[in-house]
């Protein structure tokens, strides 16, 4: 009897240990060990140190492009998301048209189209307006509108700005669907209750619906930010000197393809994993608070 109890107890303990081990984040442990190994190699290898110093300015450019573009993307997304739930048919159709077009185009195509078609066209129209206003005496001959895009005047719209605009327009469509889903997840009774208290549509949306919706969509927006960080590597196609572009330049001049792209991949992976852990923490806290 005692031996059977002991056997049962040992089996239970072993099962608990097995369950505990199975729940451990082994993937994270493997990544950490891999990162430690690579960092050790980077520290003790002069070539890796040289590559990192070469790519360091690209890290700043990548982060700057991603952050600025995503701020604008969230703004566009919020406006388009509100349009997608609007009862006004004109606003609804304009917002839906924007979302469907942007979601249907590859991001690289959007980057190229915005950079080489839309922005030059807009600059030409602004120049024409500036020349016209100067002709009728409202502005001077060398006004900012007429000189926009002029490199010698320091008013050139460089490719980093064009890339930011393109990424913001493209990701604004994805953010719009996130906001739309968040707004529609709030019960219709809350809007009706707010209207019964004397609030108009905009007041009810601002004070009642949007605060709850934003809270629910924060994790998806965080995941979108991570996706944009990775997609920002496409700006290298425009010659913007981000991590990817500098990696291409260094590998082409030194022929150190393995070490260069090891470093490029490590930098992107480090940033995305840290951000993913942050999003996971945010999800856990929001779930706990709820």
Model confidence pLDDT, tens digit, residues 65-80: 999 999 999 999 999 9
Choose the most confident range, by mean pLDDT, from 98-112, 154-168, 269-283: 98-112
What SS3 state is found at 137? coil
pLDDT of 3 over the 80 cut: no
Residue 46 falls within a domain, yes or no?
Answer: no
Residue 30 falls within a domain, yes or no?
Answer: no
Q: What share of the chain has pLDDT > 90, as a percent?
A: 38
Rounded to 5°, angle at Cα 188 from 185 and 193? 130
Choose the most confident range, by mean pLDDT, from 14-23, 43-52, 129-138, 182-191: 43-52
Backbone angles phi, psi at 11, to 5 degrees: -65, -40
220: CATH: 1.10.3720.10
Q: How many CA within 13 A on the CB side of residue 217?
A: 26
Residue 14 falls within a domain, yes or no?
Answer: no
Query: Distances in Å between the alpha carbon of 85 and those of 88, 143, 215, 239, 290?
Result: 9, 42, 18, 39, 25
| pLDDT of res. 131 | 83
- The two tokens of residue 265 are 């991949």
Pairwise CA distance, residues 211 & 201, whole Å? 14
Residue 13 falls within a domain, yes or no?
Answer: no
Residue 29 falls within a domain, yes or no?
Answer: no
| pLDDT of res. 232 | 92
Pairwise CA distance, residues 271 & 264, whole Å? 11
Averaged over 178-199, what is the pLDDT? 81
Instruction: With 0.85 as the threshold, say if the pTM is over it.
Output: no
Averaged over 125-135, what is the pLDDT? 84
Rounded to 5°, angle at Cα 68 from 65 and 71? 140
| pLDDT of res. 176 | 93
| pLDDT of res. 182 | 87
Residue 32 falls within a domain, yes or no?
Answer: no
Pairwise CA distance, residues 188 & 224, whole Å? 27
Domain count, the chain: 1
Residue 3 falls within a domain, yes or no?
Answer: no
Range of the structural domain that residue 160 is part of: 52-285
């Amino acid at each position: 009897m005692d031996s059977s109890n002991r056997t049962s107890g040992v089996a239970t303990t072993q099962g608990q240990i097995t369950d505990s081990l199975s729940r451990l984040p082994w993937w994270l442990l493997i990544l950490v060990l891999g990162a430690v190994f690579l960092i050790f190699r980077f520290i003790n290898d002069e070539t890796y140190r040289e590559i990192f110093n070469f790519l360091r300015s690209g890290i700043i450019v990548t982060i700057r492009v991603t952050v600025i573009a995503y701020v604008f993307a969230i703004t566009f997304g919020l406006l388009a998301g509100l349009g997608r739930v609007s009862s006004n048919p004109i606003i609804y159709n304009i917002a839906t048209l924007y979302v469907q077009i942007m979601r249907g185009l590859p991001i690289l195509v959007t980057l190229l189209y915005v950079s080489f078609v839309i922005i030059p066209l807009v600059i030409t129209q602004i120049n024409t307006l500036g020349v016209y206003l100067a002709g009728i005496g409202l502005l001077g001959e060398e006004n900012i509108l007429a000189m926009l895009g002029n490199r010698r005047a320091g008013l050139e719209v460089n490719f980093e700005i064009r890339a930011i605009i393109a990424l913001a327009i493209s990701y604004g469509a994805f953010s719009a669907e996130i906001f739309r889903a968040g707004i529609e997840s709030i019960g219709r009774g809350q809007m009706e209750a707010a209207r019964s208290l004397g609030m108009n549509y905009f007041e009810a949306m601002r004070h009642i619906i949007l605060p709850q919706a934003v809270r629910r969509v924060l994790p998806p927006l965080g995941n979108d930010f991570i996706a944009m960080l990775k997609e920002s590597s496409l700006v290298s196609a425009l010659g913007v000197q981000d991590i990817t572009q500098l990696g291409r330049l260094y590998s082409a001049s030194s022929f150190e393809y393995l070490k260069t792209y090891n470093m490029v991949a490590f930098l992107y992976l480090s940033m995305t994993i840290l951000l993913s852990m942050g999003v996971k923490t945010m999800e856990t806290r929001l779930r706990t608070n709820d």
